Amino acid sequence: MTISEKKEFKNKSSGKPFKSILSFSLTFILMFGLWVILSGNFEPLLIFLGLFSSFLCAFFFKDLLFSDPDSDFLLIMFRFFKYIPWLIFEIIKANFHLLYLVFHPRMKDMIDPHVVVIKTGLKKEMSIVTMANSITLTPGTITINADREGVFKVHSIDKESAEALPGTMLKKTARIFGEDK
Amino acid sequence: MNFFVLLFLIIGLVFFTGGAVGIIRMPDFYSRLHPAGKLDTLGILAMVLGFALFNLKTFSISELLLSIKMLLIVFFVFLSSPTATHSIVDAGIRAGLRHWTKEDKR
């Protein structure tokens, strides 16, 4: 029995019905929503078959997507969805900067590629993933490496994008996952 | 309505062109990934928004579902594009490629 299996076994045997029901219903809602979007049929028989198959999927794979929902899992999801519009706005702003750089005739004088190391205090895996992907999506910066201590190596195209970096994005990411203390 | 569709399509076209030109003009491997990975991401967002709006001209449930499917494409591109960029950069770092700095003229 591997460690993960043991953990699952413990979770099931110690009987936390709330967590199990939460992950089951979230998976079920996701599966059925996707089914409705992708099928586009609204006949009663097909709807029933869709309900049945998403029920089966959610029943068997409830540990897969939302494996261990914390008590404030829904709160984190809510804050995450509030973060996305800000991220898209930031991506658009930075994209225009990169577009300006690309079409500038003297581009090679303006860019100054270098690697910066940022120390963040992030500890949770999900927050490190979110931070790394946000950095990569924001043009001008690419995450090269990130480790468990929350140290990021970032390749940035010019000084301006490197200086803007740890600031607001880090604060927002830390707030989503409740790491700002 | 047509005005907004055209606006979104033109914005997307400009970003895609910027990405293609940037890949040619940038000096080295790592800085080429900046336009390649990300101008395309915003370009696809703008273009697909334009398509989804155009599709919604005659409003019905099936058209709405088709537009949502298009937006799902954008969602998956937003997930996969940073991952792909990161893995390409990682391949470069593992191969020991140095990044271009202002000092080495070529």
- Per-residue pLDDT of A95-104, as tens digits, reads 888 888 888 8
Query: B51 lies in a domain?
Result: yes
Decide if B41 contacts B17 (C-beta within 8 A): no
Instruction: Please tell me the predicted confidence (pLDDT) of residue A99.
Output: 86
Query: B72 lies in a domain?
Result: yes
For residue A125, name the pLDDT band (cuts at 50, 70, 90). confident
Please answer yes or no on whether B34 and A142 come within 8 Å at the CB atom: yes
Instruction: Please tell me the predicted confidence (pLDDT) of residue A168.
Output: 75
CA distance, residue B22 to nearest chain A CA (Å): 5
Helix A17-39 vs helix A3-13: crossing angle, to nearest 10: 110
Domain of residue B87, residue span: 2-94
> What contacts A151, CB < 8 A, 6 or more positions away?
A117, A118, A119, A120
Query: B106 lies in a domain?
Result: no
pLDDT < 70 regions, chain B: 102-106
Measure the CA–CA gap between A45 and A97, rounded to whole angstroms: 53
Query: B102 lies in a domain?
Result: no
Query: B42 lies in a domain?
Result: yes
Please answer yes or no on whether B86 and A132 come within 8 Å at the CB atom: yes
Sheet holding A114-119, edge to edge: A114-119, A151-156, A141-146
Please answer yes or no on whether A102 and B18 come within 8 Å at the CB atom: yes
For residue A1, name the pLDDT band (cuts at 50, 70, 90). very low
Instruction: Please tell me the predicted confidence (pLDDT) of residue B7.
Output: 92
Query: B71 lies in a domain?
Result: yes
Decide if A141 contacts A115 (C-beta within 8 A): no
Q: What is the ipTM of this complex?
A: 0.78
Which position has the higher pLDDT, A93 or A121?
A93
Residue in A closest to B41 by C-alpha? A137
- Pick B21's closest partner by Cβ from A38, A102, A144: A102
How many distinct structural domains can be found in chain B? 1
Q: Render pLDDT for A156-172 as a digit per residue (tens, 0 to 9).
A: 877 776 676 767 777 77
Query: B103 lies in a domain?
Result: no
Measure the CA–CA gap between A171 and A180, rounded to whole angstroms: 7
* Three-point CA angle A113, A115, A120, nearest 5°: 135
Q: For chain B, first and last CA: distance in Å?
A: 49
Query: B105 lies in a domain?
Result: no
CA distance, residue A59 to nearest chain B CA (Å): 25
